[in-house]
Amino acid sequence: MYSDKLRKLFDAGSIKIGDLIKVESGDLIFEGELMPKTEAGHEDAIVVKLKSGYNAGVMYGDGVRITKISSGKAVEFPLSNPKMAENLPKVSLLWTGGTIGSKIEYKTGGVHMTVKPEELFYYIPELPSIANIKFNQICEIASEDMSYHEWQKIAEETADALNEGARGVVITHGTDTMGFTASALAFMLQNLNAPVVLTGSQRSSDRGSSDAFLNLIAATNIAANSNVAEVGICMHASSSDDRMHLLRGVKARKMHTSRRDAFRPINDRPIAYVDMDGRISYVSEYKKTVKAAGKVTANTKFEPKTALLKVYPNSDPEIMQYYIDRGYRGFILEGTGLGHMPVSTEHPGKSWLPYIKNAIENGAVIGMTSQTLYGRVNANVYRNLRLLGNAGVVYCEDMLPETAYVKLGWLLGSHDNKAAKELLDKNIAGEITKRVNYDEFLV
Amino acid sequence: MQKQVRKIEKLKRREPKEAVDDGARYKEIGFMCGLEIHQRLATREKLFCSCPATVAAESDKTIGTISRYQRAVAGELGNIDRSAEFEELRNRKFTYRIRECHTCLVDIDEEPPHGMNHEALGVALSLAGAMDMRILDELQPMRKEVVDGSDPSAFQRTTFVAANGKIMVNGHTINIPSLFLEEESCGIVAGAEDGITYDTDRIGIPLVEIDTDPYIPTPAMAKEVALYIGTLLRISGKVQRGIGSIRQDVNVSIKGGARVEIKGLQEVEKLDRFVENEVARQLKLLEIRDALKNAHASVGEHKDVTKLFEKSTVKVVTTNMQKEGAVFAFKLSGFKGMLGREVNPERRLGTEISDYAKMAHVKGLIHSDENLDAYGFTEKEIHDLRLFLDIKQDDAFIIIAGSRGNAKRAAELAMERAKYALVGVPLETRGVHNTELCTSKFLRPLPGGSRMYPETDARPILLTKEQIDTAIKSVPNIERERKALLSEIENKGLVDQLLLSPRLQLYKTIIESTKADPNFVANTIMQKFTELKRGGFGVEGIDEQRFVDLFAAYSKKQITKQGVEELLKEMALHKESVADLITVKRLHRITGAELEKLVRDLRNEASDPSNVNEIRNIIMSKNRLNVDGSELNALLAKRS
């Protein structure tokens, strides 16, 4: 945002963002379009887009003159309005925002959410040849801002789309919390008998090198042509534009801040790969679609008073009391190693044991996962663990902490604490596997 | 038009004294010319990451490759039909080599950029200072769309740093409207049918781009300006040297012609000839246009003529036929003789059209102004084709063979270019075709303005007074540099030559690291170097350290002056160290006691020991390269 001083000056000269202006500062004369001010720049630096395409910043001060030359024109994005082929599989495309749904407005650099399907089809003309796509924008939200309210909405829309005849659903989503949403859908969608595929991008779709195009094409392929009856995440399998993998939503995790292949299966193998030609190769067991299944229902109740806590050396266990005092019913702990927490009495006030016991006595459900992510927690190896186990902590097997958190919140949404506790370490949607295979580490 | 051509022909034959008139003559033909000079900076790290800002040595292992596809996302791409370009790009695979030490995630578009490198910014600011430029208050990093795959992100980061500069070159004021700080692109490794391989070692090395305005009055002046800016860059001491570290792009147009950009000129010495040739090419194209208009020429539609060549034995045709290819041809009414007209040395209108066809991955085209017998066409084949296309006396035709899709697309592109022959000179980006003849070839249509948008991952940079002051303190100054050189080298002409030469830094390094006589060093690396180069010795391939070793050996009296020249030849041919070459090639200097012994022995043998000349001649004839003449003279004078 420009400073008050400048905004007043612009108003006085009826200058708007995008107008052609002339800025004179000493011997420097620039003509170009007035650009909006991003939060990154100085509020008094007037940014002008020159004919050459470059932006130049001129600091406003004494002797700087700004005059309007002409009004600007609105930026129009190219559109394409292809006819959908009725004979192709029906796929519902649910749009929620995130990097994949945003692109830079070329003149201003402002982020623009692609909401029109015509824009999308212009940039990815392959899509209408894969499926008969029905586009539905649900929200426009960055994934870090997602909450269980959005999970509920997406689950309901997904169920509706499937019940209305879609043979698969693609959901575009910001990548940061895509794993949470995928888990939520996996638990919420009951009697799921179709592929539900979340996809996103690590590079925004305004750049020619974006992974958005191939991810969306591959996800659409899965939704249109696969017999997977699970919620999956489909993103780049490697840094190359080579093949995309479909990962089980409850077992997938974003493991890199920025790489295209950030999503990895944890304690799991990919379900399938989709190559550049759209060919799907299945590489592990998965739940398959069956004929004549009933309707999909969305059981979307969620207990927001559920917390995910991480323990670490010197951590203060009193944090649990804070939550208990606020009526929290469930906790997923990210312990160290096999599922440890400080329990020694040698450092007064640092043992989690009394707090855990207290929470359980208050009726809370406590699940233990590991911050190593890979591997299974086990309450029987060390004495400290047995102490926790004895106290009533549920050891969540090879479940991801985030998945366990979503699962517990969902369980508490429709069950009492006792029933939720019973179900926490039982497999519901593929989140717990009895066998962790050798080749499931760091893949 | 004829008059103009004669004028330019005369111009090319000019005597040096006529050069003064160049300005007026070029002005008359509406000559416009501007330069863009791209120079890699010698900073420690790359512009937006912490990889070393150098081209990787072979020892930096390739630890993997990745492949990517790119899409045109920023809108239409110049003159070519956008959808075709879009398809083209979408199916083009780019492979990138990843180096152990020179590539990080930022380079391969897997991590956002880090902050802009301060050292590089400092160099850009001081160069701006040297050209009396106005540094912008707040710098705005931009993304410039790149569609050839040379940047894994599909854009290049570039920042407008300074404006409104000027330099004085030979009494002319040349305006420098802009200086940019940008990222180097990937170097190409190999091109294959299914894609291109790039090396990511050099991507992100900081570059400055310095632009002149388009009013450079003559080709000769363009070269002078390029030399001047090159010198300014070199004396800053902050730029990289060696092949590819500086590139000149030159924009040329004439009245009635069009702006053509010739990219990537590396030998500044030939810049004027490239410009002259471009002027000549445009004049010829205009001449051809006029002739075609007079002949009411036109270009016909392309036709599938595969059937006519089913039994052909012509190699270009059969090779494609085996792969279920196709042959397309089209008529060019009134074009007879025009396709064979030379527009530049060894380049004809047909060559220009062929460049376009090649964009569709065909080997080239065949046209009727060529000797068709040489291709092996039968009379019948040609007769049938002429009949099919309805070729009359004054018409010409073009044949293109290739895979069906490519051949058709190539024919379309060739037709597009052929039609433009009736309009004049197309706006083009051209590249070097022949470095000896200084001719260029079509690369792609001139983009209709760069597609640029803000680099939202890098913050705008508000320059502080302190930053600017620090940079201004280290502003390179050519006059100061000249004075410093004059204090070391007696020959003024040599100083001026050295000042403008890319070997200036080499000279400095040698002087700093050895005790060799500056006059001898300057003379050797300038005049001797050129002589040897002309003599076919690849002295330009000798690296700096070996030069230092050479002059160190000389200053330590291990070799003679004559030995230096001889050793240079050997160094150009062999990779061995200087010390080894001295031994192997027996170039050790005979000096001091050893020389005294040689003189003593000869005296004993000589018929007349007092005949100094005879002794000197015997010694020098046997040891020309090993004995320093003046040392021998002194010794003989002492003993006689």
**pLDDT at B83 exceeding the cut of 50:** no
Task: Give catalytic residue positions of A.
Answer: 99, 175-176, 254
Please tell me which of the candidates B140, B143, B164 has its beta carbon nearest to residue A47. B140
Cβ contact, residue pair A26, B152, below 8 Å: no
Cβ A99 vs Cβ A202: under 8 Å: yes
Cβ contact, residue pair B450, A107, below 8 Å: no
Q: Give the residue from A190, A37, A14 showing the smallest Cα distance to A109.
A: A37
Domain count, chain A: 3
**pLDDT at A11 exceeding the cut of 60:** yes
Percent of residues in chain A assigned helix, strand, coil, to nearest 5 = 25, 25, 50
**pLDDT at A75 exceeding the cut of 90:** no
What residue numbers bound the domain in which A189 lies?
Answer: 90-298
Chain B hits for A277, CB-CB cut-off 8 Å, are: none
Q: Give the residue from A311, A108, A206 showing the smallest Cα distance to B70.
A: A206
Poorest-pLDDT segment among B43-47, B148-152, B191-195: B191-195
pLDDT (tens digit per residue) in A336-394: 999 999 988 888 899 999 999 999 999 999 999 999 999 999 988 877 777 777 889 99
Dist CA A132 CA B246 (whole Å):
53
pLDDT (tens digit per residue) in B336-349: 999 999 999 999 99
Say which residue, B171 or A254, is predicted with more confidence.
A254
Poorest-pLDDT segment among A188-192, A271-275, B173-177, B315-319: B315-319
Q: Considering the domain boundaries, does residue A434 fall inside one?
A: no
Regarding whether A420 and A348 lie in a shared domain, the answer is yes
Chain A hits for B139, CB-CB cut-off 8 Å, are: 57
Q: One-letter amino acid identity for B379?
A: E
Q: Which two tokens stand for residue B608?
A: 């007349």
Predicted pLDDT at A104 = 64
Angle between helices A178-188 and A148-163 (to 10 degrees): 50
Regarding whether A322 and A241 lie in a shared domain, the answer is no
Residue-by-residue DSSP string for B127-177: HHHHTTPEEPSEE-EEEEE--SSSSTTSEEEEEEEEEEEEEEETTEEEEEE
Predicted pLDDT at A389 = 76
pLDDT (tens digit per residue) in B352-407: 999 999 988 888 999 999 999 889 899 999 999 999 999 999 999 999 999 998 89
Residue B630: C-alpha distances to residues B79, B521, B560, B614, B639 (Å): 69, 18, 10, 16, 14
Q: How many residues does chain B have?
A: 640
Q: Considering the domain boundaries, does residue A235 fall inside one?
A: yes
Cβ B564 vs Cβ B550: under 8 Å: yes
Regarding whether A284 and A219 lie in a shared domain, the answer is yes
Q: Which two tokens stand for residue B347?
A: 């380049």
Dist CA B474 CA B435 (whole Å):
36
A253 φ, ψ to 5°?
A: -145, 140
Chain B hits for A38, CB-CB cut-off 8 Å, are: 454, 456, 460
Q: Considering the domain boundaries, does residue A11 fall inside one?
A: yes
Q: Give the residue from A173, A171, A82, A78 showing the smallest Cα distance to A123.
A: A78
Q: Considering the domain boundaries, does residue A171 fall inside one?
A: yes
Regarding whether A403 and A278 lie in a shared domain, the answer is no
pLDDT (tens digit per residue) in B408-448: 999 999 999 999 999 999 999 999 999 999 999 998 887 66
Predicted pLDDT at B423 = 96
Q: Is the pTM of this model over 0.95?
A: no
Alpha helices in B213-332 (DSSP H): 219-235, 271-294, 315-322
Cβ A392 vs Cβ A245: under 8 Å: no
Regarding whether A231 and A139 lie in a shared domain, the answer is yes
Measure B356 CA to nearest chain A CA, in Å.
Answer: 25
Angle at CA of residue B344, ends B342 and B349, nearest 5°: 45
Residue A70, strand partner residues: A20
Q: Considering the domain boundaries, does residue A384 fall inside one?
A: yes
Residue B402: Cβ-neighbour burial (10 angstroms; 0-12, 13-18, 19+): buried
Handedness of CA B115, B118, B120, B124 (dihedral sign): positive
- Count Cβ atoms below 10 Å from residue A16 Cβ, excluding itself: 13
Please tell me which of the candidates B68, B137, B163 has its beta carbon nearest to residue A241. B68
Q: How many residues does chain A have?
A: 443
Say which residue, A101 or A245, is predicted with more confidence.
A245
Cβ contact, residue pair B456, A38, below 8 Å: yes
Please tell me which of the candidates B134, B147, B453 has its beta carbon nearest to residue A109. B453
Predicted pLDDT at B19 = 47
B489 φ, ψ to 5°?
A: -115, 130
Chain B hits for A202, CB-CB cut-off 8 Å, are: 110
Dist CA A144 CA B68 (whole Å):
28
Q: What does the CA dihedral A414, A418, A424, A428 come to, rounded to 10 degrees?
A: -50
Cβ contact, residue pair A57, B139, below 8 Å: yes
Measure A140 CA to nearest chain B CA, in Å.
Answer: 20
Residue A323: C-alpha distances to residues A302, A369, A388, B452, B587 (Å): 17, 19, 19, 50, 87
Q: The domain that contains A56 carries what CATH number?
A: 2.30.30.520
- A-B CB pairs within 8 A amount to 139
Residue A87: Cβ-neighbour burial (10 angstroms; 0-12, 13-18, 19+): exposed
Q: Which of A75-89, A223-237, B457-471 has the highest mean pLDDT?
A: A223-237
What is the interface pTM, i.e. ipTM, of the complex?
Answer: 0.94
Q: What is the mean pLDDT of residues B181-209?
A: 89
- Domain termination residue (choose one: A70, A104, A128): A70
Beta strands in B193-266 (DSSP E): 195-199, 206-211, 246-253, 260-265
Give domain B295-431's CATH superfamily: GAD-like domain (3.30.1360.30)
Q: Which of A100-109, B35-44, B261-270 has the highest mean pLDDT?
A: B35-44
Predicted pLDDT at B81 = 39
pLDDT band (50, 70, 90) for residue B5: low
Chain A hits for B111, CB-CB cut-off 8 Å, are: 257-259
Cβ contact, residue pair B180, A206, below 8 Å: no
pLDDT (tens digit per residue) in A261-313: 999 999 999 999 999 999 999 999 999 999 977 899 999 999 999 999 999 99
Residue A366: C-alpha distances to residues A329, B78, B338 (Å): 9, 62, 87
Please tell me which of the candidates B142, B158, B460 has its beta carbon nearest to residue A41. B460
Predicted pLDDT at B310 = 86
pLDDT (tens digit per residue) in B281-313: 999 999 999 999 999 999 999 999 999 998 888
Largest CA distance in chain B: 96
Predicted pLDDT at A113 = 65
Regarding whether A59 and A142 lie in a shared domain, the answer is no
Residue B38, strand partner residues: B209, B247
Dist CA A312 CA A393 (whole Å):
18
Regarding whether A121 and A209 lie in a shared domain, the answer is yes
pLDDT band (50, 70, 90) for residue B58: confident
Cβ contact, residue pair B72, A242, below 8 Å: no
Q: Which two tokens stand for residue B97?
A: 């080599």
Q: Considering the domain boundaries, does residue A439 fall inside one?
A: no
Cβ B196 vs Cβ B94: under 8 Å: yes
Handedness of CA B629, B634, B636, B637 (dihedral sign): positive
Residue B528: Cβ-neighbour burial (10 angstroms; 0-12, 13-18, 19+): middle
Dist CA A264 CA A267 (whole Å):
10
Dist CA B410 CA B466 (whole Å):
57
Look at strands A132-137 and A90-95 and give their pairing.
Answer: parallel
Q: The domain that contains A153 carries what CATH number?
A: 3.40.50.1170
pLDDT (tens digit per residue) in A243-272: 999 999 999 999 999 999 999 999 999 999
Residue B387: C-alpha distances to residues A108, B379, B390, B397 (Å): 58, 12, 5, 12
pLDDT band (50, 70, 90) for residue A141: confident
Q: Where are the domains of chain B?
A: 31-259, 295-431, 478-584, 592-639
What's the number of CA atoms in the CB half-sphere (13 Å) around residue B312?
Answer: 30
Q: What does the CA dihedral A95, B145, A23, B457 come to, rounded to 10 degrees?
A: 60
Predicted pLDDT at A428 = 97
